[in-house]
A and B are shown apart, each in its own frame.
Chain A
């Protein structure tokens, strides 16, 4: 049985549906990320787990105890730790007081309280700053205080609501790894909310991608990247070329599909577990920019080979983007940064059928 079970959760604000009957399970000790664009319902879901929002329908079960169906359990009684986007460190208390706040409420003996606080301060790398006020700390340090405060009571569940999005890029990357290793070491079941797909990929054991109140796909970062469930997921995670077209032929035995697109009569898509389709259906033949191979001269015996012209060239340091126009359709290609081709030059694109997927 999963550690956190979300059953048929429904929450709306006036007429706007924020969470639309979702089902979700978080396993014990796992870090699950809710990922999606703003307004997709990820934060509302998290706040429902925390008890900061009251959903209209459904139930949330934490460690076997229902939070809604047998009477609403107040946030203070749920045994959770939470980290907020804007730190929410109490400005009128010193770091130490911020951290022991929850322990004090539990009437834990002073000595034990002190030990726990010291432990967690060391864990987040804040020892020595106990007597500072939050305004005397940097943003990153304040978020560490918030993290320490959330962890000090050994919560059953740790909830993180975009904890890094107020920090600068460098620090964000650094703290990602820190949070991941910290949470993993402590083995706390955690739910992490972010709109940053790179962050989600790095930090999570599993990702639940959300779109307008629904969970669209759940899986490991690898599964979600390699086998996106639909066009939305493929577009949101990483970059994808979408070529609108129509299915012309389905080859049952090899699980391959021929698609007619704007620039070609027949394009072969072979990725297994592709969405089941029938001839005549409108689909998107899709391929990631790094899966497109480029050739100066056409190689022999390859299907899905198209000739195009480089319309734009974008230098991104460790690699190049070519925006290649194939009969008017723009295809983005990621190539090594040393390729000599310039804008206006022609080249051949090989859209490997094994990497081509069909999305709706």
Chain B
């Protein structure tokens, strides 16, 4: 228990100490406290934060736009090829981020028929593709839990399939999917192994920024501050999701609801 707690809590503690100090190298604890690192990030590279949000959000929109219908096809229809679809998406789990990054870089290179690697959209696309299986699995699971007769009852009551989806399926799926959405966003937000191969000047995200700071050497404080910032953002997202899923939805489902 203590061992696990140490492994987890060491991260924010060390990063925090490093982020709020200057030149913490030789002492057991930093002696020179400062906010300089954060000032530098916000003044000199707000683009990183902006890029991180931009790419992750677009990846997320792709994810919802593609993942929900895919889950619907796989769970609710007898469409031929739906098992193949499931397999192909799940296959993505087998590829490490480096493989995705390198193959997209080569496959979408300037000289290929689809020169996507030349546009920043490749960043969002790669984040989307890499994390799609997670989203699909979660959407899939919540679809499976949704009793089909709830949808059928709506159809019999006079609603068409599309209306039924928006009136019945979507609100009931929301809880499961919402968690999926936030997890997807967090994973996309923190992604580096794919992105580091694809980025060009001006497309750097926060994780890439951290890597570069470290790589250039001796900018440990700034790197730590960026990492700390990412943790805070992620933490806030998690907090929001726990509030939404525990608050609003609990009220909607009534006390003792699931």
Contacts and interface: CB of A to CB of B under 8 A. Distances in A.
Q: Judge: A and B partners, yes or no.
A: yes
Interface of A: 50-52, 74-78, 80-82, 84-86, 88-92, 101-102, 105-106, 132-136, 146, 149-150, 153
Given A135-B254, A135-B256, A135-B257, A88 B153 contact: yes
A106 B172 contact: no
A90 B168 contact: yes
Nearest to B160: A76
Contacts of B83: none
A81 B159 CA distance: 12
Looking at chain B's contact residues, the main secondary structure is helix
A136 B156 contact: no
Given A84-B152, A101-B159, 4 more contacts: A74-B155, A86-B149, A92-B253, A134-B254
Contact of A135 (B149, B153, B172, B253): B253
13 contacts: A76-B157, A76-B158, A78-B156, A80-B156, A82-B156, A92-B171, A92-B253, A102-B158, A105-B159, A106-B158, A135-B254, A136-B254, A149-B157
Contacts of B159: 76, 101, 105
Given A84-B149, A86-B147, A105-B163, A91 B157 contact: no
Contacts of B155: 51-52, 74-76
B234 interface: no
A77 B149 CA distance: 17
A105 B152 contact: no
A62 B120 CA distance: 58
Q: Which of B150, B153, B155 neighbours the largest number of chain A CB atoms within 10 Å of its CB?
A: B153
B255 interface: yes
Contacts, number: 80
A150 B257 CA distance: 24
Interface string B153-184: 11111111001000110011000000000000
B114 interface: no
B43 interface: no
Given A75-B152, A90-B168, A91-B172, A105 B253 contact: no
A90 B150 contact: yes
A207 to B, nearest CB: 24
Contacts of A76: 155-160
A92 B167 CA distance: 10
B137 to A, nearest CB: 23
Contacts of B4: none
A101 B171 CA distance: 15
Contacts of B171: 92
Contact of A105 (B157, B255, B257): B157
A240 to B, nearest CB: 35
Q: Which of A82, A84, A92 neighbours the largest number of chain B CB atoms within 10 Å of its CB?
A: A92
B126 to A, nearest CB: 36
A90 B256 CA distance: 16
Contacts of A135: 253-257
Given A86-B147, A135-B254, A135-B257, A102 B152 contact: no
Interface in B131-161: 147, 149-150, 152-160
B147 A88 contact: yes
B252 interface: yes
Nearest to B174: A92
B255 A84 contact: no
A105 B158 contact: yes
A23 to B, nearest CB: 24
Contacts of A146: 153
A272 to B, nearest CB: 44
Contacts of B160: 74, 76
Contacts of A92: 171-172, 252-253
Contacts of A153: 157-158
